[in-house]
Structure 1
Amino acid sequence: MSEERDWSNLPPELIFLISRKLADLSDFIRFHAVWKTWLSSVPFSDHPPQIPWLLEYDADFSVKACMKEELHFYSLTSHGTKTKSIPIKESHHNKKYNRNAHGYLLVEDGNELSLLNPLTDKEISIPAVQSDSKIEWPIFMASNPIENLYTLFNHKLQKYNLGVYHPDKMEFTYVDSDFCCACYWNSMLLTTQRSCCTQMYDAISGKMLYEIPTPKNEDKVARTYLIVSCGVIFRVSLIFPPCVTIFRIYKLNFDGGKGEPCWVEVRNIGDQIFFLDSWSGFSVRAVAGLKENCIYFILTELGKFHPHNVLLRYDIATSKAERVPCPLERFMWFIPKLC
């Protein structure tokens, strides 16, 4: 008769390998609750890369909404109708929260601004933007807003511009650029409009460094995204021919730093997955249950009484899109973080 295994005494290296397979943060939290030895072997700060959740918002949500008692989420790894909820501290109720990225919501309380992690209640105060600007849409360009730059999608005199926050100086640098998407890479900001050239700025000074021409075969573009994936910048163009959805993907080529930057079309992103919404996109490595070399994207459909979202998956290899079931009506991407 075999001896029963003591699961509390698994080797730390094996516990770590098991934790790497947990793509959903709720599973990672439950994993820690099994044994104290598991918690000590893999601290919360060392959780594996997470597949994003879908954050539900109300029907009246356009850019901002009021905090309520809880936020509702759906995980792609659930493969069903199960949703999750995160309680919100009473002190945050009725504050306005904005779009999000990297696990933080941009919260407004009158003239005061802060970043809030709803999973940990961690809040980071930031200074208000200049008086003639209004925060329209935040786009966080770095994974750690305490140590790195992030940007806000501002609205100034009916023109979009970038406000780049520098935590060490506690101030913003503003870049006047009429853009619809942006990304941060190696201390540089890249911005572009739908089918226009891409402009590259120094994030510290706001000086424009390069103007990258539009890809030659990019046409009938409905929306353009800039995504940093594994240290490489991609331009992802969403095209809507009749009855068909097509993405064209381009990689930024610097020619080893010897030539002018240009876009080169690619047809494979390897083990990565791109996630897109109305304004921005990001990349995550594929995990068990989610197919690599794909694009998950959110579209808004106009219903009879109010708009609602649909989630689709685009297979880059086959150039085909299919609808992905989701129990929520209105949602946006949210990357959960425990630190």
Structure 2
Amino acid sequence: MGLPPELLREISCRLHDTADFVRFHAVCKPWRGSHEPTTTDYQFLPWLLAPSKPGDDSLKIRCVFSGISYHVPPPVSATMTNGVTSAGNTNIRYFTDSPLGPTLHESVAGGAVAHLPLSPHIERLGKNPGGIIHNDGTLLLYSKYGKCNSSDLYTIEFSASLLHPGNDEWTFVQRTLETPCYGEFYAMYHAGKIIVTMYNNLWLVMMTPSTAATNKDDVLVPTPLWTSRKCDGYFCEYTYVFESRGELLWASVHIKMDYPYQDDDGKGVCGLVRALWMSMHVLEKVSEGSKEIQWARKDAKSLKDRLFFLGWPNSFTMDASQLGVSGGFAYFLYCDDQGHRQPHERWGVFKYNLIDNMTEFIEWLPQGWDEEMCTWLIPQPTIAPIHQVVVTTPRSNNMIHIKTLCP
């Protein structure tokens, strides 16, 4: 195409849609050769991964920014109950346990398999534990089992195993917890502790792995006011707990109770976007030197350089400057279950401006994406390098011909 290599590299760095990135490098050899993964840090927009069920013949992923869906074969029996996410959400892995030992199967990044150390505690987690790989490389696997009792409380047997990087020994933790019968459940590793939080409960449990056999060091922390089920005319629908720049954040999505439904925009979202709003809190000490911990309201202006992608079982943040866009926005899913001229409930993707407190509708997800909440992942496409292969042909002058092959 005659474009200078430095210009091609500059254009390539500005392609944050994975499909555009792959198409760009498939045009010709000079464009393909502009990819320099050793010197360039590429940042891509996240995609959604739909919930899967045992027996599904494919995983559904979707780029909501381009409105394109893809299907990829699952590496193993993949469900969100045995999904293991990473703190940066570059991939989703699926946990399996076999006589040869536990493994993690990558879903959409080549299907690589990582073998984990053997542990007698893994069996105590059940067949399909979920988990997360944190920024420091620590792997947390956990499971919960329980039932409602007569007082509408849910008695949970919570079990977790921790594996630190470079260590072959697992740390096992088990607790019996009482929570409401409804709501979301989160577990994560933060600041050297295992943290379990229950939606709409009055406390958050922090457990120290070094005292795993007892609960004497567990800390109960009141939840922020705006995470209660009903407050000042708003109903708290979804909560998300995640790390961002070393802090533990709690994001809550609220909707105005009995909001007026209006369909004057043709999409059935006019009244909905005006009824949705978000709050953000950070877990911090009550005062300098104090051991007491509280949830404090996070200043929205301090979030203006970040993008938040909220999902289940994991949420994460990105530096807005890496994508060449302004920050202070959170992307989340919301279920329209009001039945307004729809034959079934549907999930929509929304964007919330944390600075101006305004919601924007992105799109309704296609059918098949409307059963549960989805999770986000950042695709990592690989561009195979151009190889030069020396081929000797049986000619009289013994010339050597060089062919350039693009795998």
TM over 0.5: yes
2:222 aligns with: 213
Inter-CA distance 193–136: structure 2 relative to 1 (3 Å threshold): farther
The yes-or-no answer on 1:50 pairing with 2:8 is no
Look up the SS of the partner of 1:38 in the other structure: coil
What is the TM-score normalised by the length of structure 2? 0.64
Q: C-alpha distance in 1, partners of 2:41/2:199?
A: 36
Query: Which amino acid in the other structure matches residue 37 of structure 2?
Result: V
- Superposition deviation, residue 23 in structure 1: 2.6
Q: C-alpha distance in 1, partners of 2:283/2:168?
A: 31
The yes-or-no answer on 1:24 pairing with 2:17 is yes
Q: What is the root-mean-square deviation in Å for CA atoms of aligned residues?
A: 3.7
**1:234 pairs with one of 239, 249, 274:** 249
Contact kept, 8 Å, 2:311 with 2:376, in 1: the verdict is: no
**1:265 pairs with one of 297, 302, 306:** 297
Inter-CA distance 169–107: structure 2 relative to 1 (3 Å threshold): closer
Inter-CA distance 114–203: structure 2 relative to 1 (3 Å threshold): same
1:197 aligns with: 203
Q: C-alpha distance in 2, partners of 1:109/1:332?
A: 24
Look up the SS of the partner of 1:140 in the other structure: strand
The yes-or-no answer on 1:250 pairing with 2:281 is yes
**2:375 pairs with one of 322, 333, 336:** 333
Query: Which amino acid in the other structure matches residue 10 of structure 1?
Result: E
Q: C-alpha distance in 2, partners of 1:21/1:73?
A: 22
Contact kept, 8 Å, 2:197 with 2:204, in 1: the verdict is: yes
Q: C-alpha distance in 2, partners of 1:170/1:299?
A: 40
Look up the SS of the partner of 2:79 in the other structure: strand
- Superposition deviation, residue 305 in structure 1: 6.6
**2:140 pairs with one of 141, 147, 151:** 151
- Superposition deviation, residue 53 in structure 1: 0.5
Amino-acid identity (%): 17
Query: Which amino acid in the other structure matches residue 221 of structure 2?
Result: I
1:87-106 alignment runs, 5 A limit: 87=73, 92=75, 95-98=77-80, 99-101=83-85, 102=89, 103-106=91-94
Look up the SS of the partner of 2:134 in the other structure: coil
What is the TM-score normalised by the length of structure 1? 0.75
Gaps of 5+ in 1: none
1:1-339 alignment runs, 5 A limit: 5-7=2-4, 9-10=5-6, 15=9, 18-30=11-23, 33=26, 35=30, 37-39=33-35, 41-43=36-38, 47-57=41-51, 61=52, 64-68=53-57, 70-78=58-66, 81-87=67-73, 92=75, 95-98=77-80, 99-101=83-85, 102=89, 103-108=91-96, 113-117=102-106, 118-126=108-116, 130-134=122-126, 138-143=130-135, 148-158=137-147, 159=156, 161-166=158-163, 168-169=167-168, 171=170, 173-176=172-175, 178=177, 180-195=185-200, 196-203=202-209, 205-206=211-212, 208=217, 210-216=219-225, 218-219=227-228, 220=230, 221-242=236-257, 243=259, 244-254=275-285, 258-259=289-290, 260-268=292-300, 269-286=303-320, 288=323, 292-302=327-337, 308-329=346-367, 330=369, 332-338=374-380
Gaps of 5+ in 2: 148-155, 180-184, 231-235, 260-274, 383-407
Contact kept, 8 Å, 1:135 with 1:153, in 2: the verdict is: no
Query: Which amino acid in the other structure matches residue 193 of structure 1?
Result: M
Inter-CA distance 215–71: structure 2 relative to 1 (3 Å threshold): closer
Q: Deviations over 1:227-285 (max 9, x none)?
A: 21122221222333312223221122337862233222124122212222355422222
Contact kept, 8 Å, 1:274 with 1:281, in 2: the verdict is: yes
Query: Which amino acid in the other structure matches residue 106 of structure 1?
Result: Y
Look up the SS of the partner of 2:355 in the other structure: coil
